Chains A and B, each alone.
Chain A
Amino acid sequence: MLQFLLRRALLAVLVCLTVLVVAFVLTRLSGDLAISIAGPQATAEDIATIRQNYGLDRPLVVQFFDWAAHAAQGDLGRSYLYHAPVAGLIADRLPITLTLGLSGLAIALLVAIPLGILAAMYEATFVDRAIGIVALIGQAMPSFWIGLVLIIVLGLKLQWLPISGVDTWEGYIMPAVVLAFSAIPALMRLTRAGMIDALASDYIRTARAKGLRPGRIVLKHALRNAAMPVVSVAAVQLGFMLGGSIVIEAVFALHGVGYLAWESISKNDFPVVQAVVLFLAVVYIGLTLLADMMNAVLDPRLRTA
């Protein structure tokens, strides 16, 4: 068990290093950053100044190791747009994105798990097929488009919810629901598959032979065993949702990390871009590690081995 976790930790470090390189290379894809930053009206002098200020006149290898060394200590550089440390910018915006991601995940789980259980209990019947088709429909809707439609219907026509911003908690409802949409089909299918396996197992027959009530059999005996893969995937989905919230934040004008990234990408604020890429990757890697540990806690066979 310990060896397994150590192996995973080593892998995580290697992945982080790779992402570090990817994030760096990405922002150098435009060729000369200084020219893009300076903009079309800049003189050669302006460009030279920028190049010097941002250290872009140094060889790429030197730039990379300088950035990597600082990043490893938590110093992600300075945004030239905001004239502030990138780490601080991300920290300021993080609460919004995190609230959005976590409430999105909660909504997704609240919808996906009951639907998955229902589909498994009525496997191969009309109920199962109907739920499967609802999942397909959900999967086919572009999230930014659902966002806009909800804004028109719930925000404008019915005026139930604010159409942008998060001054009150109601502002989170629509974006969180839209974000949840993308995660529901995968979580639903996984719950269904796990429940079908669990319900067909010998220990469920034992539970029925004990005369337990159907609710207890499904929720206690089957779900507990089906939940293990769902937990891993839920953690991974949260990672995807934090990354995907960029679209939702743009639609609902929420100034979270995604919005920051979008702005920075449009304005060539490369220190922010490479930092956000790295940050989201590290969060994702951390979440997969967390999922492994949670599974170890949930599964007594792993815990006591």
Chain B
Amino acid sequence: MKPVLEVANLRVSFASGTRAVRGISLAVQRGETHCLVGESGCGKSVSSLAIMNLLARGATRSADILRFHDTDLLKLTERQMAQLRGDKLAMIFQEPMTSLNPAYTIGSQMAEALTRHRRISRAKALDRAAELLERVGITAPGMRLAQYPHQLSGGLRQRVMIAMALMCDPELLIADEPTTALDVTVQAQILRLLQTLQRELGLALLLITHDLGIVARMAQRVSVMYAGEVVESASAEALFARPTHPYTRGLLECIPIPGASRRDAPLGSIPGVVPRIGPDFKGCGFRDRCAHAAPICAEMAPLQHAAPNHDYLCRLPPDWPEAAAA
């Protein structure tokens, strides 16, 4: 099946010389949730902004493939891209408290998402907005439409953001840490909402998160990002059953995953911080924090297959702890 979104060798660098994204590849299928997971600063948010062409000034992107269905996003002008954004491609952000314009009502901000892309009256757009607010679980939608963002709680605002992203029936929804800023109980509600919507609308969902608990719960496919690269990519099942990259293993040891972690296993931690990657960087980005680093890691990190559709970026063989012991 042809993916909704296909990305190959996407790169983003900043004017400062920092290489934020260093050639990531991923594909999102219709009806699939693809999780892009990694710690803060690994380049996952920048990747999503690069896909949407929403990078701040001073950042440049390049890619071998950046395709939405049959549309080559790299060839679009900003004007053409803007026509696609908010229509077929929608995005929601981490900060529900600041992502809505404080000066306009919820209704006004939701309606313009539709009137921008469809020839439709404002009144009709407001009807649609009310319908979607109800759909995302907001009671008394008529009242909410007339309210300003500051009158709503964080959870409500994130529901509004989701409803707003759905105004034009998008095919791809990119959600950048949509629950990070919210209370735990609200988080669970929002995630359930996203799951339901995705199932019912057949959305392709690219979910960006640092939380492996969310990955375990939501993802069909996972890309683990570290220092601007996807270091391991697999189906969710395979990733949790047979994590291969040392970083992925480290991550999984840090967090108890219901059903995935052994009950008696000690929780681990990864010492050190994500390095800053300059233009001359070579080799594996994880080597300074990796317990298994070897001299060759300063030169290269090869792409290997642990299984069909299970790739990782490391010198170690797929069955390395056992192989090393042997």
Contact = CB atoms under 8 A, between A and B. Distances in A.
Contacts of B150: 300-301, 304
Contacts of B95: 202
Most buried by B among A205, A224, A299: A205
A221 interface: yes
A209 B52 contact: yes
Nearest to A222: B101
A177 B54 CA distance: 41
B90 A225 contact: no
B91 interface: yes
Contact of B85 (A201, A208, A225, A301): A208
Contacts of A157: none
A12 to B, nearest CB: 27
A212 B116 contact: yes
A213 interface: yes
Interface in A277-301: 298-301
A209 B103 contact: no
A210 B164 contact: yes
Instruction: Determine the main DSSP class of A at the interface with B.
Output: helix
Contact of B103 (A202, A205, A210, A224): A224
Interface string B143-165: 00000101100000000010011
A225 B91 contact: no
Interface string A218-229: 000100110000
Most buried by A among B82, B99, B101, B150: B101
A-B pairs, 3 with minimum CB distance? A211-B86, A210-B86, A211-B85
Contacts of A213: 82, 116
A224 B101 CA distance: 10
Interface in B104-142: 104, 112-113, 116-117
A210 B148 contact: no
A210 B112 contact: yes
A84 to B, nearest CB: 49
B8 interface: no
A278 B113 CA distance: 52
Interface of A: 201-203, 205-214, 216, 221, 224-225, 298-301, 304
A225 B98 CA distance: 13
B102 A301 contact: yes
A202 B99 contact: yes
A202 B45 CA distance: 14
A301 B102 CA distance: 8
B32 interface: no
A91 B162 CA distance: 58
Nearest to B100: A203
Nearest to A122: B57
Contacts of B161: 206
A301 B148 contact: yes
Contacts of B82: 208, 211-214
B52 A225 contact: no
B260 to A, nearest CB: 33
Given A205-B54, A209-B90, A301-B150, 15 more contacts: A201-B98, A205-B99, A206-B93, A206-B101, A206-B161, A207-B101, A208-B82, A210-B112, A210-B113, A211-B87, A211-B116, A212-B116, A213-B82, A225-B101, A304-B151
